[in-house]
Amino acid sequence: MSTPQTPHTLHFMPSAGFRARAKDVVENPFLRKSFRGAMDFLMSKRAAQFPDAEELESLRSLGERIRQYNLAKLPTLLEQLEANLTKNGINVHWAETPEEANAIILGICQKHSARLMVKGKSMVSEEIELNHAAEAAGIGALESDMGEYIVQLAHEKPSHIIMPAIHKTKEEIAKLFAENVPGVAYTDNVDALIQIGRNVLRQKFLEADIGLSGVNFAVAETGTLCLVENEGNGRMCTTAPPVHIAITGIEKIVEKLEHVPPLLSLLTRSATGQNISTYFNMISSPRKPGEKDGPNEVHLVLLDNGRSQAYADEQLRKTLQCIRCGACMNHCPVYTRIGGHAYGTTYPGPIGKIISPHMLGLEATATMATASSLCGACGEVCPVKIPIPELLMRLREESFSAPHANPAMRGQGAGYSRLVSAIWRAWAAVYRSPGLYRLATWAGSRFSWLMPANQGAWTTVRTPLKPAPKRLRDMLKERG
Amino acid sequence: MSARDRILGKLKAAAPASAGELPDVAAWYAAHRGTESVADKARRFRQCIELAHAEVYSVSRGGWLQKLYEVLSAKQLEQLLVAPGTAHGKRAQEELVPLGIACPAYDQPIEQWKAAMFTATPAAFTAARAAIAETGTLILWPDADEPRLMSLVPPIHIVLLDAATIHNTFYEAMQREGWQQGLPTNALLVSGPSKTADIQQTLAYGAHGPKELVVLLIEENPQ
């Protein structure tokens, strides 16, 4: 078993306080409407992409098989990827923690005396809070995905992994631009707002010393980094600046190039309901002699950050099948009502609930897995068939069972309470023994007047719970 | 011990003994995707990429230059970035310059003219290596003659595509062309002009890449 480490803590929003943040959103009709509308839109777009149920089912099975096959070979494939990338001229770095990843990236920036880094959309860079670390080191880190740019201007974090600014209205964005972009007057015309962003960011692509991106798939056999996007900012970040740094979690590897088309199809159709994204960018080397553009240096940072912990357990390993499409959050009744910020973690929604405990430890995330009705929608839409509800049950068990030796997860038992545990044990005993059960129901009906009128959250909008004066057993007996 | 050794050590200690059979991607495509004639593929390609807001013109092998000139005139473009190291770029330059279209060449490293590329290059003309019918996708393999930024920075990108090179699927394209043998510095799939829906799910074109994508589709029997 690996030694417990101090979990990485997030700077912007502590993971505690989940309930309070969720309550704030539930009571905010504007946010409720934004999320409901956006999720309905994304769900119908996805459904329209999969008219044939048999095709969807068989493609999901193929996607699951591809991800499981590649995870089973993960250590070998990482070595193969490293060898082929190195052969192609791409520098490979390894980081166990967010701190190590930031140090590697900022080290490259400092070596080039970089002042400005433009960033393509990368959730892993959010996970390590690279912007925070870059700012502390005096290096400008500018988000260039339109949604990420908006969120960064507002000093917020993405509320959705695919659509980062989904919680904002165009009027809010109009105000944000008018206040923060020099020489810009208020306009809530979406085309005009996008043109403002385009003009500001074009200048930055031209000036930037470093381009940073994420990776959607890394192909071991060819040594290729694949990026999915619609805007072209990812291509800008990976082509215009003299240095490109890519960062990815260690799980995003496929052995064969032919594994990419099915996964790409599942990803774009599940995420935004597009049959393909506008751009699919495959990078296999830095600029070669004679070529006239492209970065002279390309780096890949491979990040662990708790993924190897998930990997070590056969059931939890399935978490790593994820291709980050966001369909689970789009279909989640909880996410739709509380939005992405309430979770306080980089990854919100069902996938956030099952991946964050590995990154942050169960100490900080013990209650996340309980924020679910276990309706199963996330598991049904997952394009690679991650059994999310099953994993949520497992995480509840890990959080609330008594601490034991050799736990599978950091922070196992963090939510354990002797009192709660005793109550459940008593409950189980009552249901196992007919005599005890009879006694308990008799006492319940006899002493129902003891039930308090105020039953906490239950009675804020409901009448108090009260056992019936007569048990079913007694009523049947009276009937003869 | 390095981070690399620690990560690989943990993974190796936990990896299953066998990964099982290689997933049968070929069987899935054989069962779920048919093959089509060149004309059918061209029709499907066109339908899909037009839905994604690209302009497509069917042209003959000899007549594409006339259409290119018409497109430039209609868009009031007087300047077109070309790649004279390629046959199509050379021909465009030779025939458009006498018609009053300036055709600067991408013939020096970007460092020497980056600002002009970003601020004073309204349109570029490249060829596509192939295309994909299923998704309406152009396949571009930029190289030393036709560099990467040509299809990205200018607000209008005009692409020459031969209908005979259209594949049914992405999978078929990489299999038939043997991509696993080796990929170029950068291979690209482009399926329309740049776009975003990041503000209130409202679709807007020209986010960061080209605002307009024009395809000159060479067909044996142009429509």
Partners of residue B193 in chain A, C-beta under 8 Å? 278
Integer CA distances (angstroms), B127 to B195, B211, B218, B219, in order:
21, 18, 11, 15
Going by C-alpha positions, the residue among A82, A91, A95 that lies closest to residue A133 is A95
Query: What pLDDT score was predicted for residue A371?
Result: 94
pLDDT score of B207 more than 70: yes
Report whether A179 contacts A214 (CB < 8 A).
no
Query: Which tokens sit at B90?
Result: 């050379």
pTM of structure: 0.95
pLDDT band at A120 (very low <50, low <70, confident <90, very high): very high
Mean pLDDT score, A258-284: 98
pLDDT at residue A292, as a whole number: 98
Assign B101 to helix, strand or coil: coil
Please report which confidence band the pLDDT of residue A234 belongs to, taking 50, 70 and 90 as the band edges: very high
So what's the architecture of A20-36+48-308 in CATH?
Answer: 3-Layer(aba) Sandwich (3.40)
| Average of per-residue pLDDT across B9-38 | 96
Percent of chain B with pLDDT over 90: 97
Mean predicted lDDT score pLDDT of chain A: 94
Using CB atoms, pick whichever of A73, A261, A287 lies closest to residue B185.
A287
Q: What is the distance of C-alpha A223 from the center of its chain?
A: 26
Binning pLDDT at 50, 70 and 90, where does residue A9 land?
low
The pLDDT, as a whole number, for residue B221 is: 86
* The CA-based dihedral angle spanning residues A312, A313, A319, A321, taken in that order and rounded to the nearest 10 degrees: 70
Q: Where are the beta strands (DSSP E) in chain B?
A: 55-59, 123-127, 130-132, 137-140, 156-162, 166-167, 186-190, 195-196, 204-205, 212-218
Using one digit for the tens of pLDDT, what is the confidence trace for B61-100? 999 999 999 999 999 999 999 999 999 999 999 999 999 9
Considering only the beta carbons, identify the residue of A146, A258, A277 that sits closest to B171: A258
Domains of chain B, start order: 34-218 (3.40.50.10420)
CA A457 from centre of chain: 29
Q: pLDDT of A157-184, one tens digit each?
A: 999 999 999 999 999 999 999 999 999 9
Q: What is the mean pLDDT of residues B27-44?
A: 95
B126-175 pLDDT per residue, tens? 999 999 999 999 999 999 999 999 999 999 999 999 999 999 999 999 99
Q: What is the pLDDT of residues A70-117, one digit of tens each?
A: 999 999 999 999 999 999 999 999 999 999 999 999 999 999 999 999
Rounded to 5 degrees, φ, ψ at A91 are -85, 130
Q: How far apart are CA B121 and CA A162, in angstroms?
A: 31
Q: Which of residues 108-147 of A touch B (CB under 8 A)?
A: 144-147
Q: What is the pLDDT of residue A469?
A: 87
Give pLDDT, residue A1.
36
Distance between CA atoms of residues B203 and A113, nearest Å? 38
Whether A26 has a pLDDT exceeding 90, the answer reads yes
Residue A376 has pLDDT above 60, yes or no: yes
Using alpha carbons only, what angle is made at residue A259 by residues A239 and A213, rounded to the nearest 5 degrees?
25
DSSP state, residue A258: G
User: Is A212 a residue whose pLDDT tops 70?
Assistant: yes
Q: What is the pLDDT of residue B223?
A: 74
Q: How confident is the model at residue A480 (pLDDT cuts 50, 70, 90)?
A: confident
Largest CA distance in chain A: 97
Encoding tokens for residue A250? 């260690």
CB crowding A386-398: b at 16 or more within 10 Å, else e: bbbbebbebbbeb
**In 3-state terms, what secondary structure has residue B59?**
strand
Are β-strands A297-303 and A91-95 bridged in parallel, bridged antiparallel, or unpaired?
parallel
Asked if residue A4 has pLDDT above 50, the reply is no
Label residues A302-316 b or e (16+ Cβ within 10 Å = b).
Answer: bbbbbbbbbbbbeeb
Q: Which residue has the tokens 């395809």?
A: B215
**ipTM field:** 0.98
User: What does the block give as tokens for B218?
Assistant: 């060479």
Query: β-strands A217-219, A224-229: how paired?
Result: antiparallel
Alpha carbons within 13 A on the beta-carbon side of A310: 28
**Rounded to whole angstroms, how far apart are CA atoms A350 and A26?**
18
Reported as a pLDDT band with limits 50, 70 and 90, residue A346 is very high
Query: Cβ contacts (< 8 Å) between B115 and chain A: which residues?
Result: 206
Which chain A positions have a beta carbon within 8 Å of B148's beta carbon?
235, 239, 293-294
Q: Can you tell me the mean pLDDT for A16-31?
A: 89
Give the model's pLDDT for residue A13.
Answer: 61
Q: B residues 8-67 near A, CB within 8 Å?
A: 8, 10-16, 18-20, 22-23, 25-26, 28, 31-32, 48, 52
Mean pLDDT of all residues belonging to chain B: 97
**Which residue in the set B183, B186, B191 is minimally distant from A222, CB to CB?**
B183
Confirm or reject contact between B112 and chain A (CB < 8 A). no
DSSP string, B147-166: -GGGGTSSSEEEEEEEGGGE
pLDDT band at residue A2 under the 50/70/90 scheme: very low
Per the CB < 8 Å rule, is B207 touching A2? no
- What pLDDT was estimated at residue A14? 62
Question: What mean pLDDT comes out for the span A194-223?
Answer: 98
For residue A12, what pLDDT band results from cuts at 50, 70 and 90? low
A276/B contact by beta carbon, under 8 A: yes
The rounded distance, in Å, linking the Cα atoms of B157 and A107 is 37
Q: Which residues of A211-220 are buried (b: 16+ CB within 10 A; e: fewer)?
A: bbbbbbbbbb
Domain with CATH 3.40.50.10420 in chain A: 20-36+48-308
pLDDT of amino acid A6? 43
Residue A119, helix vs strand vs coil: strand
Contact between A392 and A433 under an 8 Å Cβ cutoff? The reply is no
The stretches of A137-187 forming alpha helices (DSSP H) are 146-153, 170-180
Query: In which band, very low, low, confident or very high, does the pLDDT at A17 lie, cut at 50, 70 and 90?
Result: confident
- Residue located via tokens 């930024």: B149
Count Cβ atoms below 10 Å from residue A470 Cβ, excluding itself.
Answer: 11
- Compute the average pLDDT of residues A227-256: 98
Candidates A391, A206, A367; CA nearest to B111 is A206
Tell me if A107 sits within 8 A of A195, measured CB to CB. no
Q: Which two tokens stand for residue B197?
A: 């829906």
Mutate one of B168, B185, B213 to test the A interface: name it (highest A CB count within 10 A).
Answer: B185
Give the containing element (helix H, strand E) for A212: strand A210-213
- Contact pairs from chain A to chain B, CB under 8 Å: 257
Mean pLDDT across B3-19: 97
pLDDT > 70: percent of chain B: 100
Is B204 a residue whose pLDDT tops 50? Answer: yes
